[in-house]
């Protein structure tokens, strides 16, 4: 399948970038600064992000800036029904590694998805129209079907691939921040 091949290429590119920490950190700073000065971030009071795997965009800078700015920061928990719930996290929130290798908050209060002003959507491969290929579980595609708030993704240029077929269930994010 085309998406499987692109997913493998995207993971290879992310892991290559992870082996070049100075370049990765520079790109993360550029992307973060673009996000922090954008109205979607400035207006948002409740922001949902993910806890990254080591080779993904390091969202800890977003947590620090969000808390410093008085924003509520949320992280997802994947349910057995393949649906995401979002939970309020604080600096002392405890995380647990799932079977997928992702760290999720435990004993953090669930928050209604309706209060999320900005959803930072993860992905492995993106095109410039905002369509994305994730890890293949469809969690974010299902969530985005009913989500009405602002969406964005933080993307390394190494993740951009234009030549793939978007499928009917794929939903784009509204804004990409790329470096």
Q: Which residues are annotated as a binding site?
A: 3-7, 56, 132-140
Binding-site positions for substrate read 56
Binding-site positions for ATP read 3-7, 132-140
What does the H/E/C string look like for 16-55? HHHCCHHHHHHHHHHHHHHHHCCHHHHHCCEEECCCCCCC
Maximal C-alpha separation, the chain: 44
**Cα separations (Å) of 50 from 57, 87, 163, 165?**
10, 11, 27, 26
Strands 103-106, 94-97: pairing is antiparallel
In whole angstroms, give the CA distance from residue 160 to residue 158: 6
- Three-point CA angle 160, 162, 57, nearest 5°: 15
Query: How much helix, strand and coil, in percent to the nearest 5, is found in the chain?
Result: 35, 25, 40
């Amino acid at each position: 399948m085309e998406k499987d091949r692109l997913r493998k290429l995207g993971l290879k590119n992310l892991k290559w970038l992870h082996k070049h920490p100075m370049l990765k950190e520079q790109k993360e700073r550029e992307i973060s600064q673009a996000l922090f000065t954008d109205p979607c971030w400035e207006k948002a009071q409740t922001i949902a992000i993910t806890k990254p795997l080591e080779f993904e965009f390091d969202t800890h800078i977003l947590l620090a800036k969000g808390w410093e700015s008085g924003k509520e920061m949320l992280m997802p928990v994947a349910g057995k029904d393949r649906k995401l719930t979002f939970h309020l996290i604080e600096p002392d929130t405890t995380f647990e590694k799932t079977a997928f290798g992702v760290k999720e908050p435990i004993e953090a209060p669930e928050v209604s998805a309706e209060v999320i002003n900005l959803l930072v959507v993860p992905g492995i491969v993106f095109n410039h129209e905002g369509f994305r290929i994730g890890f293949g579980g469809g969690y974010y595609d299902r969530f985005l079907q009913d989500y009405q708030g602002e969406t964005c993704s933080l993307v390394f240029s190494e993740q951009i691939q234009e030549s793939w077929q978007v499928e009917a269930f794929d939903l784009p994010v509204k804004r990409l921040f790329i470096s």
